Amino acid sequence: MKKYRLIIADDHKMFLDGLLSILSAKKEYDIILTANSGKNVAKYLDINNAEEPIDLVITDVNMPDLNGIALNQHIKVKHPKTKTLVVSMLHDSMTVQTLTKDNVDGYVPKNAEKDELLEAIESILKGDKYFSQSIKDVYLKGMFSNEQSLIESLSKREKEVLKLIAEEYTTQEIADKLFLSKHTIESYRKNLISKLDVRNLAGLTRYAIKLGLLEE
Protein backbone atom coordinates (compact mmCIF):
# COMPACT_ATOMS: atom_id res chain seq x y z
CA MET A 1 0.00 0.00 0.00
CA LYS A 2 1.33 3.42 -0.95
CA LYS A 3 1.80 5.67 2.05
CA TYR A 4 1.12 9.39 1.65
CA ARG A 5 3.00 11.96 3.72
CA LEU A 6 0.78 14.75 5.04
CA ILE A 7 1.16 18.00 6.97
CA ILE A 8 -1.73 19.68 8.80
CA ALA A 9 -1.62 23.38 9.69
CA ASP A 10 -4.32 24.94 11.87
CA ASP A 11 -4.17 27.13 14.96
CA HIS A 12 -7.41 25.71 16.39
CA LYS A 13 -6.38 22.74 18.53
CA MET A 14 -9.86 21.16 18.64
CA PHE A 15 -10.10 21.06 14.85
CA LEU A 16 -6.51 19.82 14.54
CA ASP A 17 -7.19 17.01 17.01
CA GLY A 18 -10.41 16.09 15.20
CA LEU A 19 -8.65 15.93 11.84
CA LEU A 20 -5.83 13.86 13.32
CA SER A 21 -8.39 11.43 14.72
CA ILE A 22 -10.04 11.02 11.31
CA LEU A 23 -6.78 10.56 9.40
CA SER A 24 -5.00 8.35 11.92
CA ALA A 25 -7.67 5.71 11.26
CA LYS A 26 -6.53 5.57 7.62
CA LYS A 27 -3.37 3.46 7.31
CA GLU A 28 -2.37 5.03 4.00
CA TYR A 29 -1.73 8.44 5.60
CA ASP A 30 1.36 9.39 7.59
CA ILE A 31 0.99 12.69 9.45
CA ILE A 32 4.54 14.01 9.37
CA LEU A 33 3.92 17.36 11.02
CA THR A 34 1.15 19.35 12.69
CA ALA A 35 1.67 23.09 12.96
CA ASN A 36 -0.21 26.09 14.30
CA SER A 37 1.34 28.56 11.85
CA GLY A 38 2.07 28.64 8.14
CA LYS A 39 5.63 29.79 8.82
CA ASN A 40 6.48 26.50 10.54
CA VAL A 41 5.18 24.53 7.55
CA ALA A 42 7.10 26.63 5.02
CA LYS A 43 10.29 26.24 7.07
CA TYR A 44 9.87 22.46 7.35
CA LEU A 45 9.28 22.09 3.60
CA ASP A 46 12.23 24.30 2.69
CA ILE A 47 14.55 22.15 4.81
CA ASN A 48 13.17 18.64 4.26
CA ASN A 49 11.03 18.45 1.13
CA ALA A 50 13.82 17.72 -1.34
CA GLU A 51 14.84 14.51 0.46
CA GLU A 52 11.50 13.47 2.01
CA PRO A 53 8.71 14.98 -0.12
CA ILE A 54 5.37 15.85 1.42
CA ASP A 55 2.42 14.77 -0.71
CA LEU A 56 -0.24 17.05 0.76
CA VAL A 57 -0.48 20.08 3.04
CA ILE A 58 -3.90 20.66 4.65
CA THR A 59 -4.17 24.22 5.90
CA ASP A 60 -6.56 26.77 7.34
CA VAL A 61 -6.62 30.33 5.93
CA ASN A 62 -6.46 32.36 9.15
CA MET A 63 -3.17 31.59 10.91
CA PRO A 64 -0.45 33.60 12.64
CA ASP A 65 2.87 34.47 10.98
CA LEU A 66 1.97 33.17 7.51
CA ASN A 67 -1.67 32.68 6.53
CA GLY A 68 -3.03 29.92 4.31
CA ILE A 69 -3.07 32.09 1.19
CA ALA A 70 0.61 33.00 1.58
CA LEU A 71 1.50 29.42 2.50
CA ASN A 72 -0.22 28.08 -0.63
CA GLN A 73 1.67 30.62 -2.76
CA HIS A 74 4.96 29.57 -1.14
CA ILE A 75 4.28 25.88 -1.75
CA LYS A 76 3.21 26.39 -5.38
CA VAL A 77 6.36 28.38 -6.16
CA LYS A 78 8.99 26.43 -4.19
CA HIS A 79 7.42 22.96 -3.87
CA PRO A 80 5.12 22.52 -6.89
CA LYS A 81 4.84 18.74 -6.47
CA THR A 82 3.27 19.13 -3.02
CA LYS A 83 -0.53 19.37 -3.16
CA THR A 84 -2.54 21.82 -1.06
CA LEU A 85 -6.00 21.54 0.49
CA VAL A 86 -7.59 24.48 2.29
CA VAL A 87 -10.08 23.61 5.04
CA SER A 88 -11.49 26.81 6.45
CA MET A 89 -14.54 28.62 7.81
CA LEU A 90 -13.37 31.59 5.75
CA HIS A 91 -14.74 31.35 2.22
CA ASP A 92 -15.57 34.84 0.97
CA SER A 93 -15.33 35.37 -2.79
CA MET A 94 -12.00 37.25 -2.62
CA THR A 95 -10.32 34.44 -0.66
CA VAL A 96 -11.76 31.74 -2.92
CA GLN A 97 -10.77 33.57 -6.11
CA THR A 98 -7.25 34.30 -4.84
CA LEU A 99 -6.60 30.69 -3.86
CA THR A 100 -8.06 29.41 -7.13
CA LYS A 101 -5.86 31.81 -9.11
CA ASP A 102 -2.88 30.59 -7.08
CA ASN A 103 -3.64 27.00 -8.15
CA VAL A 104 -4.78 25.54 -4.82
CA ASP A 105 -5.70 21.88 -5.29
CA GLY A 106 -8.80 21.85 -3.14
CA TYR A 107 -11.01 23.88 -0.82
CA VAL A 108 -13.67 22.64 1.60
CA PRO A 109 -15.41 24.43 4.49
CA LYS A 110 -14.62 23.36 8.05
CA ASN A 111 -18.19 22.22 8.57
CA ALA A 112 -17.89 19.66 5.75
CA GLU A 113 -18.86 16.09 6.57
CA LYS A 114 -16.06 13.62 7.38
CA ASP A 115 -16.80 11.65 4.19
CA GLU A 116 -16.43 14.73 2.01
CA LEU A 117 -13.15 15.66 3.66
CA LEU A 118 -11.77 12.19 2.99
CA GLU A 119 -13.07 12.33 -0.59
CA ALA A 120 -11.30 15.68 -1.10
CA ILE A 121 -8.00 14.28 0.20
CA GLU A 122 -8.25 11.12 -1.93
CA SER A 123 -9.17 13.09 -5.06
CA ILE A 124 -6.27 15.51 -4.67
CA LEU A 125 -3.73 12.74 -4.02
CA LYS A 126 -4.94 11.05 -7.23
CA GLY A 127 -4.13 14.23 -9.13
CA ASP A 128 -7.59 15.79 -9.32
CA LYS A 129 -8.89 19.09 -7.95
CA TYR A 130 -11.64 19.11 -5.33
CA PHE A 131 -13.90 22.02 -4.40
CA SER A 132 -17.04 21.72 -2.26
CA GLN A 133 -20.24 22.84 -3.95
CA SER A 134 -20.55 25.78 -1.55
CA ILE A 135 -17.05 26.93 -2.55
CA LYS A 136 -17.91 26.64 -6.26
CA ASP A 137 -21.05 28.72 -5.65
CA VAL A 138 -19.05 31.45 -3.90
CA TYR A 139 -16.51 31.45 -6.74
CA LEU A 140 -19.13 31.79 -9.49
CA LYS A 141 -21.05 34.47 -7.59
CA GLY A 142 -17.81 36.42 -7.13
CA MET A 143 -16.93 36.15 -10.81
CA PHE A 144 -20.39 37.41 -11.80
CA SER A 145 -20.13 40.28 -9.32
CA ASN A 146 -16.70 41.26 -10.69
CA GLU A 147 -18.06 41.28 -14.24
CA GLN A 148 -21.02 43.42 -13.21
CA SER A 149 -18.69 45.93 -11.53
CA LEU A 150 -16.54 46.01 -14.66
CA ILE A 151 -19.52 46.63 -16.91
CA GLU A 152 -20.81 49.39 -14.62
CA SER A 153 -17.40 51.07 -14.75
CA LEU A 154 -17.66 51.70 -18.51
CA SER A 155 -18.40 55.30 -19.41
CA LYS A 156 -21.14 56.30 -21.85
CA ARG A 157 -18.50 57.15 -24.47
CA GLU A 158 -16.75 53.80 -24.01
CA LYS A 159 -20.06 52.03 -24.59
CA GLU A 160 -20.65 54.09 -27.75
CA VAL A 161 -17.23 53.16 -29.13
CA LEU A 162 -17.73 49.50 -28.13
CA LYS A 163 -21.10 49.41 -29.92
CA LEU A 164 -19.66 50.84 -33.15
CA ILE A 165 -16.67 48.48 -33.06
CA ALA A 166 -19.08 45.55 -32.73
CA GLU A 167 -21.07 46.90 -35.69
CA GLU A 168 -17.82 46.63 -37.72
CA TYR A 169 -17.25 50.33 -38.35
CA THR A 170 -13.64 51.22 -39.11
CA THR A 171 -11.63 53.39 -36.74
CA GLN A 172 -11.96 56.37 -39.13
CA GLU A 173 -15.72 55.85 -39.49
CA ILE A 174 -16.16 55.75 -35.71
CA ALA A 175 -14.07 58.92 -35.39
CA ASP A 176 -16.25 60.68 -37.97
CA LYS A 177 -19.50 59.54 -36.31
CA LEU A 178 -18.45 60.70 -32.84
CA PHE A 179 -16.59 63.83 -34.05
CA LEU A 180 -13.35 62.62 -32.50
CA SER A 181 -9.87 62.07 -33.90
CA LYS A 182 -8.77 58.69 -35.23
CA HIS A 183 -6.03 58.65 -32.58
CA THR A 184 -8.62 59.10 -29.80
CA ILE A 185 -10.69 56.18 -31.08
CA GLU A 186 -7.57 53.99 -31.24
CA SER A 187 -6.89 54.90 -27.60
CA TYR A 188 -10.47 53.96 -26.65
CA ARG A 189 -10.09 50.63 -28.45
CA LYS A 190 -6.80 49.79 -26.69
CA ASN A 191 -8.23 50.81 -23.31
CA LEU A 192 -11.36 48.71 -23.82
CA ILE A 193 -9.30 45.64 -24.75
CA SER A 194 -7.24 46.13 -21.59
CA LYS A 195 -10.16 47.01 -19.31
CA LEU A 196 -12.37 44.12 -20.44
CA ASP A 197 -9.40 41.73 -20.47
CA VAL A 198 -10.00 40.48 -24.02
CA ARG A 199 -7.45 39.81 -26.74
CA ASN A 200 -8.99 41.28 -29.88
CA LEU A 201 -11.99 42.86 -31.60
CA ALA A 202 -13.92 39.58 -31.46
CA GLY A 203 -13.68 39.72 -27.66
CA LEU A 204 -14.97 43.28 -27.67
CA THR A 205 -17.89 42.23 -29.87
CA ARG A 206 -18.83 39.46 -27.41
CA TYR A 207 -18.92 42.02 -24.61
CA ALA A 208 -21.07 44.38 -26.70
CA ILE A 209 -23.57 41.56 -27.25
CA LYS A 210 -23.52 40.68 -23.53
CA LEU A 211 -24.26 44.33 -22.71
CA GLY A 212 -27.15 44.36 -25.15
CA LEU A 213 -25.59 47.25 -27.09
CA LEU A 214 -26.43 45.72 -30.46
CA GLU A 215 -30.12 45.46 -29.67
CA GLU A 216 -30.63 49.20 -29.60
pLDDT category of residue 159 using cuts at 50, 70 and 90: confident
Domain that holds residue 27: 4-144
Q: Number of folded domains in the chain? A: 2
Looking up residue 180, the CATH number of its domain turns out to be 1.10.10.10
For residue 149, CA distances in Å to 64, 85, 102, 111, 154 come to 33, 30, 22, 31, 9
> Residues 184, 190, 194, 195: is their CA dihedral positive or negative?
positive
Same domain, yes or no, for 186 and 159?
A: yes
Which pTM was predicted? 0.67
Q: Give residue-wise pLDDT tens across range 111-142.
A: 888 999 999 999 999 999 989 888 888 767 76
The pLDDT tens digits for 26-39 are 899 999 999 999 99
Is the pLDDT assigned to residue 107 strictly greater than 50? Answer: yes
Give yes or no: residues 136 and 194 share one domain: no
Residue 174 in any domain: the answer is yes
**130 and 72 in a common domain:** yes
Residue 17 has pLDDT above 50, yes or no: yes
User: Where on the phi/psi map is residue 170: left (φ > 0), alpha (ψ -120 to 50), or beta?
Assistant: beta
Residue-level pLDDT at 121: 96
Q: What is the mean pLDDT of the chain?
A: 88
**What Å distances lie between residue 204 and 10, 64, 194, CA to CA?**
45, 44, 10
State the pLDDT at residue 78. 96
Please answer whether residues 58 and 9 qualify as being in contact, where contact means their C-beta atoms are separated by less than 8 angstroms.
Answer: yes
| Residue 149, in any domain of the structure | no
- Tell me: pLDDT of 196 over 60: yes
Position with higher pLDDT, 181 vs 148: 181
Longest pairwise C-alpha distance within the chain: 74
**91: domain CATH number?**
3.40.50.2300
CB-based contact 84:57 (threshold 8 Å) = yes
Find the mean pLDDT for residues 83-92. Answer: 86
Residue 90, pLDDT above cutoff 80: no
Residues 138 and 162 in one domain: no
